[in-house]
Amino acid sequence: MRRYVAIAVPLLVAALLAGHRLVPDSPGNLGSLLEAFLPWLGLAVPVLFELAVWRRSVPAMIAALVPAVAWAAVFGAQALPAGDGPADLVVVQHNVSDENADPAGTARALASARPDLIGLEEVTPEALPSYDGALAGGYPFHAVYGTVGLWSRYHIIESGPIDIKPSGLEADWRRGLRAVVAAPGGEVVVFVAHLPSVRPGLRGFNTSRRDDSARKLGAFVAAEPARRVVVIGDLNATVDDRGLRPLTSRLTWSRSGFAWSFPARAPVARIDQIMARGATVAGVRTLPKTGSDHLPITARIAFA
């Protein structure tokens, strides 16, 4: 019996890696929970292989290689260092935290990466003057609606809020904006968004509000006539999470570099995202820690 278990467990891990979309969400949104931490299933590989060696079981050793192959097929490209290719835009994304004690220092740290666009979430009215003051020299154009904002080197032609509020929340919940930026090579439509957090509870992993907000943001992206589109935000989901399908089915993102951004003290997932349409997103990486509970991320965007 133990022989069969030693073979079945690695095959199960491989099946979860390769077929995570087939794991049902009920009960408790287990499929979404699995996808939030999917890369970490790779930690099972050395454990399974060591157990197989300890048991001196050749079939178990061979079986332990199957999830290794599956992990490499799914995440091999992301395990490679993020390269710096050509870019039309360099973008920084950061949830700055509404409890950040040093907003001006955070802003200066983000500007030191010399991006063209900076998208921020959890910008409080009290901290906004600090962000404005610290970024004014290099980023004279900005748009802020609710708690999300965009700072740009280039002229923002127009901007306005977008309603991505999930049902059941107060009317003053404002976490989305759309802006048209006069970037080199042509106008770019930029969305900045902050989707609701997910919370474990008695009924499991509750993603309903985030998923509702993601569908609404995806609808705005789908209806956007512009060819060059960038989406920046704390989306509270990894790109593997099925809750982001309304966006990942329409946009591209970097295939190299994990750039785990949350929590800042010991990052285990990248829930901050930079995506685009009509472009290649590359060179995604984290920036040094600020006063936030998230790490900033940056990426290079080259338009087709």
Are 171 and 195 found together in one domain? yes
User: What is the pTM for the complete model shown?
Assistant: 0.90
Token pair 């983000």 is found at 110
Residue 180 lies in a domain: yes
Give CA 268 to chain center in angstroms: 12
Are 286 and 181 found together in one domain? yes
C-alpha distances out from residue 88 to 12, 51, 109, 122, 167, Å: 43, 49, 22, 27, 37
Are 129 and 230 found together in one domain? yes
Domain that holds residue 21: 2-79
Are 141 and 270 found together in one domain? yes
271-291 pLDDT, tens digit each = 999 999 999 999 899 999 999
Are 143 and 282 found together in one domain? yes
Are 271 and 133 found together in one domain? yes
| Nearest alpha-carbon partner for 196 in 185, 210, 186, 206 | 210
67-123 pLDDT, tens digit each = 888 888 888 777 776 666 779 999 999 999 999 999 999 999 999 999 999 999 999
209-247 pLDDT, tens digit each = 999 999 999 999 999 999 999 999 999 999 999 999 999
- Give the chain's mean pLDDT: 91
Are 129 and 261 found together in one domain? yes
Query: What does 232-275 look like in DSSP terms, one character per residue?
Result: EEE-SS-TT-GGGHHHHTT-B--SS-----BSTTS--B--EEEE
For residue 97, what are the contacts with CB-CB under 8 A and spacing of at least 6? 122, 291, 292, 293, 294
Question: Which of 25, 57, 79 is the last residue before a domain boundary?
Answer: 79
pLDDT exceeds cutoff 90 at 22:
no
C-alpha distances out from residue 227 to 122, 133, 190, 281, Å: 29, 33, 11, 15
Region 151-155: mean pLDDT is 98
Region 24-33: mean pLDDT is 76
Are 183 and 280 found together in one domain? yes
First to last CA, the chain: 56
Give the three-class secondary structure for 285. strand
Are 75 and 209 found together in one domain? no
Is the peptide bond between 129 and the residue preceding it cis, with omega within 30 degrees of 0?
A: no
pLDDT exceeds cutoff 90 at 23:
no
pLDDT exceeds cutoff 60 at 1:
no
Tokens linked to 290: 């600020």
pLDDT exceeds cutoff 80 at 2:
no
Region 169-198: mean pLDDT is 94
